[in-house]
Amino acid sequence: MSNNADGASEHATARAQLDALWHRGREFLGSDYAILGGAMSWVSERNLVAAISNSGGFGVIACGSLEPPGLREEIAATFGLTDKPFGVNLITMHPELDGLIDCCLDFEVGHIVLAGGLPPVDAIDRIKSGGAKVLCFAPTLSVARKLLRRGVDAFIIEGMEAGGHTGPVATGVLSQEILPELREVPVFVGGGIGRGESIAAFLEMGASGVQLGTRFVCAEESIAHANFKQAFIRSNARDAQPSVQLDPKFPVIPVRAIVNKATVLFMETQRDVIARFRAGEVDQKAAQLEIERFWAGALRSAVIDGDIDHGSVMAGQSVGMVTREQPMSDIIGELVEQTLTTLARRPEA
């Protein structure tokens, strides 16, 4: 048998292995590949979401602060760009959560991701009674168990390597804590994934699929400003750092982003505000509000306007694996091929 024939046989075997490993995730999402797009505000809009879905993955619209009319427009526009399945990510703290859920149900969006805290039971019930599936983030196994009892259909576990708002535990540790124990529903793993070798490893640990965000920012279809994309291409893993809290009396929700001038200014702002509080010039509530407002509009400023010095350049630690701008189909194609190559190298049982 020729070497080419051997290679083709190994590739076919690896393909069968991959199909088996993420069969549950593919069936749940209705996509060719069990690769979820992470919902990134201002980035995960109609163009990127449709590109992910058209390339065989599963795009997810980041609703963020959109109100129902804006979300309706975004969903309709996405349907105009793809006939493949995609989902919508909703923030549970949004004051118009019920209206946003209704928007998704009116358009028959099949999957809704609830993020930003423990979702209300009535929101889960509303989604499921409308015929859609509910995905939630599981920061711990106990939270996952609680949400499972409430009727959640699938989970995403996202480690601290992820960009944007992030938790305190690494992806590898979360996966070891949750994947062996949670088998009732599909579980997707995200945070720091940038290559197929990692995808293969998490699938073999029991994940039904994976979630990637940072790796997709520099897709040609992404509307992110050229400056924003170049910041990703120039950066390495160590450049993506979580925001730092100076005083426990003034909590700061960790946000992982590429260090820039704004990062330094944020530290100076915290020091100044805390000093004024201690001097009795402002009360605690006013001081906390001033700290929280520092980043208001900063993400849009970076993503849309290209101000990568004073804006928030949210990125995961996999940013070092983003080396150039590519078509989305090439990015997903590379990820799948790397996964297949990794599986093909595994010794036969």
Q: Cβ neighbours of residue 129 under 8 Å, at least 6 residues apart?
A: none
Q: What pLDDT does 11 receive?
A: 82
What are the extents of the domains in the chain? 3-224+321-345, 236-314
Among residues of the chain, what percentage have pLDDT more than 70?
97
User: Predicted confidence band at 2 (pLDDT cuts at 50, 70, 90)?
Assistant: very low
Per-residue model confidence as pLDDT tens digits over 175-229: 999 999 999 999 999 999 999 999 999 999 999 999 999 999 999 999 999 999 9
pLDDT at position 107 over 50? yes
Q: Which residue has the higher pLDDT, 2 or 227?
A: 227
Say if CB 312 and CB 255 are below 8 A apart.
Answer: yes
Give which of 108, 112, 107, 48 is closest to 73, Cα–Cα. Answer: 107
Per-residue model confidence as pLDDT tens digits over 7-64: 677 788 999 999 999 999 999 999 999 999 999 999 999 999 999 999 999 999 999 9
Q: Which residue has the higher pLDDT, 10 or 144?
A: 144
Q: Cβ neighbours of residue 75 under 8 Å, at least 6 residues apart?
A: 61, 88, 103, 104, 107, 109
Does residue 257 sit in helix, strand or coil? strand
pLDDT at position 1 over 60? no
Backbone angles phi, psi at 290, to 5 degrees: -65, -40
Among residues of the chain, what percentage have pLDDT more than 90?
92
Any idea how long the chain is? 349
Q: Cβ neighbours of residue 333 under 8 Å, at least 6 residues apart?
A: 55
Which class is domain 3-224+321-345?
alpha beta
pLDDT at position 259 over 90? yes
Say if CB 335 and CB 329 are below 8 A apart.
Answer: no
Give which of 105, 131, 106, 139 is closest to 119, Cα–Cα. Answer: 139
Q: What pLDDT does 3 receive?
A: 64
Stretch 114-129: mean pLDDT: 95
Per-residue model confidence as pLDDT tens digits over 291-330: 988 998 999 999 999 999 999 999 999 999 999 999 999 9
Q: Which residue has the higher pLDDT, 330 or 166?
A: 330
